Amino acid sequence: MPSAENKRGFGFHPLGAWCDTTGEPLDAILRPGRAGANDADDHLELLDRTLAVLPAEYQLGHQPGDDSALVAHHILLRADSAGCSHGFVGGLVEANIEYSIGHHIDANVKEALLLFQEEDWDDAVEEDASVRDGAFVAELTDLMELSGWGEGARLICRRERPHPGAQLSMFDMSEGFRHTCFITNSTNDLDVPALECRHRGHARVEDRIRNWKDCGLQNLPFASFTQNLAWVSASLIAGALLAWSQMTCLDGELTKAEPKTLRYRILHVAALLVRRGGRLILRLDETWPWAAALKRAFNRLRTTFP
Q: What is the pLDDT of residues 187-235, one digit of tens each?
A: 877 899 999 999 999 888 888 889 988 988 888 888 888 898 899 999 9
Same-domain check for residues 197 and 255: no
How many whole angstroms separate alpha carbon 42 and alpha carbon 29?
8
Residues 250-259 have pLDDT tens digits of 999 999 999 9
Query: What does the pLDDT look like over 109-149, one tens digit per residue?
Result: 999 998 888 888 999 999 998 999 999 999 999 999 999 99
> What's the confidence (pLDDT) of residue 3?
47
Report if residue 304 sits inside a domain.
yes
Is the predicted pLDDT of residue 9 greater than 50, yes or no? no
Q: What is the chain's mean pLDDT, rounded? A: 88
| Percent over 90 (pLDDT), the chain | 58
Residue 158 pLDDT > 50, yes or no?
yes
Percent of the chain, pLDDT > 70? 96
Please say if the pLDDT value at position 5 is more than 50. Answer: no
- β-pairing, 76-79 vs 98-103, is parallel
Task: Give a yes or no: residue 195 inside a domain.
Answer: yes
Residue 186 and residue 305 in one domain: no
Answer yes or no: is pLDDT of 56 > 60: yes
How far is CA 75 from its chain centroid?
13
Do 159 and 258 fall within a single domain? no
CA–CA distance, 200 with 127 (Å, rounded to integer): 10
- Assigned domain for 52 exists: no
Quick one: 79 exposed, middle or buried, by C-beta within 10 A (0-12, 13-18, 19+)? buried
Domain boundaries, position 119: 67-204
Would you say 144 and 104 are in contact if contact means Cβ atoms under 8 Å apart?
A: no
For residue 142, give Cα distances in angstroms to 7, 139, 154. 40, 8, 9
Q: Is residue 244 very low, low, confident or very high in pLDDT (cuts 50, 70, 90)? A: very high
Distances (CA, A) of 211 to 5, 13, 19: 14, 17, 14
pLDDT at 117: 86
Report the number of distinct structural domains present in the chain.
Answer: 2
Out of 204, 228, 243, a domain closes at 204
199, 184 in Cβ contact below 8 A? yes
Same domain, 94 and 192: yes
Asked whether residue 282 is domain-assigned, the answer is yes
Confidence bin at 1 (pLDDT 50/70/90): low
Closest CA to 105 of 91, 90, 84, 123: 84
pLDDT of residue 34: 74
Angstrom distance (rounded) from CA 60 to CA 51:
10
> What's the pLDDT at 273?
85
Whether 18 maps to a domain, the answer reads: no
- Specify the pTM: 0.85
Say if residue 196 is in the same domain as residue 274.
no
Same domain, 189 and 263: no
The answer to whether 212 and 237 have CB atoms below 8 angstroms apart is no
Of the residues 188, 204, 220, the one at which a domain ends? 204
Smallest CA-to-CA distance from 197 within 139, 99, 134, 129 is with 129
DSSP per-residue letters across 51-73: HHHS-HHHHTT-STT--GGG-SS
Residue 53 inside a domain? The answer is no
Same domain, 198 and 259: no
197 and 124 Cβ atoms separated by less than 8 Å: yes
Per the domain annotation, does 22 fall within a domain? Answer: no
Query: Within 13 Å and on the Cβ side, how many CA atoms surround 157?
Result: 26
Q: Does 302 share its domain with 180? A: no
| Residues 186, 112 share a domain | yes
Give the pLDDT mean for 56-78: 93
- Within this chain, do residues 73 and 200 fall inside the same structural domain, yes or no? yes
Q: Beta strands 178-184 and 98-103: pairing type? A: antiparallel
Closest CA to 177 of 144, 143, 137, 141: 137
**Is residue 48 helix, strand or coil?**
helix
Residues 194 and 95 in one domain: yes
Nearest to 185 by CA among 146, 159, 129: 146
Claim to verify: residue 166 and residue 284 sit in the same structural domain: no
- Residue 106 maps to a domain: yes
